[in-house]
Amino acid sequence: MATDYYGVLGLAQGASDTEIKRAYRRMARDLHPDVNPDPGAKEKFGEVSRAYEALTDPEKRRIIDLGGDPYDTNGGRGGSPFGNAAGFGGLGDIMDAFFGGGAARGPRGRTREGEDALIRVDLDLDETVFGTTTEVTVDTAVLCDACTGAGTAPGTHPETCSTCNGRGEVQSVQRSFLGQVIASRPCPTCQATGQVIPHPCPKCAGDGRVRSRRTIPVKVPAGVEDGMRIRLAGYGEVGPGGGPAGDLYVEVRERPHDVFTRDGEDLHCRVTLPMTAAALGTTLKLETLDGNEDLSIKAGTQSGTVLTLRAHGAPRLRGTGRGNLLVHLDVQTPTRVDGRQAELLRELAGLRGEDLSDGNSANHGGLFTRVRDAFNGR
């Protein structure tokens, strides 16, 4: 059974070239493996690309419209029951032989849609969190201002191709076991457009577009993440013949921050506390992206405690509100203590009823003594 290539792109049979291109671009952007991590997206992207290739190739599309499949290798090209018989490339060529060689295809327009462009921009964390406006410099094809896309020199116009008489294709007669067969192919003189430009524009050489470097302002929304792309419609490559421009995609790359790391809309940071501050409790001044905040540390705070400052993260792109700032606390134990400090700590341990002896103090001293000696490098 032939594949429904129109259905793959969500189109009805007979859709125009513009509708096919628009549907493909929309689906390809959503399914591209660089954008969509879903394991099934890669396979679907291949199906969509295959359908687009088939429907934009005049020969393959003709086979599809006649109920065949141009990729069917079982029984010959396009699923034709005649296989690859001499003089035929498939069902489409057989129909050409009986009905006049595809003259109804007509010339292809010179104007075609332009390609998309991609550029990357590096931003700091505060710029991605709160949003910003930045400028990017791109080098793309733009409309030729000398001929406004026509491709002709001033005062001249395109002329009908004398090779194909404006049909965009040429025919040749071949002999086969069925008799004379008329085969059609794109005109090599006019590239299937049916027109030639005898006097091309001196600035664009007849292409209707020229390369140009432009500086474009880009509004970065608050909450954008590393790897996300911002679409600027119509800022991509102008198409051949002055065709409509594609889109420009600006990919955000977030620079690492000295203090904060990001996980979606949440931010994380680590704060180191002296052992005494953790035991007694204190208030710290914490510098956040929103300014200084008082961070209350309760007495007896343990290392590994996580404190949450709500609504101090990045805004949610979908929805309202902001993420949180999660502060991870590390309690710092002294690596060296002198005799007086050791005496005070030993006194504290006694007041708390803590037994610092390991049961072998006669030979090696108490547990605290050995820890102190280790800190002092003894």
Based on the domain organization, do 276 and 296 belong to the same domain?
yes
- Establish if 198 belongs to a structural domain: no
Confidence of residue 145 (pLDDT cuts 50, 70, 90): very high
Based on the domain organization, do 321 and 344 belong to the same domain?
no
Based on the domain organization, do 311 and 344 belong to the same domain?
no
144 marked as part of a ligand binding site? yes
With a pLDDT cut of 90, the percent of the chain lying above it is 50
Based on the domain organization, do 275 and 312 belong to the same domain?
yes
- Establish if 368 belongs to a structural domain: yes
- In sequence order, the 6+-apart residues with CB closer than 8 A to the CB of 35 are 29, 229
- The domain that holds 286 is classified in CATH as 2.60.260.20
> Which residues in the chain belong to E strands, given as ranges?
117-123, 132-143, 159-160, 169-176, 179-186, 195-196, 209-220, 229-232, 248-254, 261-263, 266-274, 282-288, 291-297, 306-309, 325-332
- Establish if 314 belongs to a structural domain: yes
Based on the domain organization, do 303 and 343 belong to the same domain?
no
- Establish if 115 belongs to a structural domain: no
147 marked as part of a ligand binding site? yes
How far is CA 59 from its chain centroid?
A: 32
**Which residue range is the domain that position 314 belongs to?**
261-332
Span of 206-210, 226-230, 295-299, 364-368 with lowest mean pLDDT:
364-368
Specify the higher pLDDT residue, 71 or 269: 269
- Establish if 255 belongs to a structural domain: no
Based on the domain organization, do 272 and 322 belong to the same domain?
yes
Q: What is the tally of structural domains in the chain? A: 2
- Establish if 360 belongs to a structural domain: yes
- In sequence order, the 6+-apart residues with CB closer than 8 A to the CB of 74 are none
Span of 16-25, 56-65, 236-245, 352-361 with lowest mean pLDDT:
352-361
269 marked as part of a ligand binding site? no
- Establish if 57 belongs to a structural domain: no
Q: Quick one: average pLDDT of 245-250?
A: 94
Whether pLDDT at 178 is above 80: no
With a pLDDT cut of 70, the percent of the chain lying above it is 82
Based on the domain organization, do 285 and 347 belong to the same domain?
no
Based on the domain organization, do 346 and 323 belong to the same domain?
no
- Establish if 287 belongs to a structural domain: yes
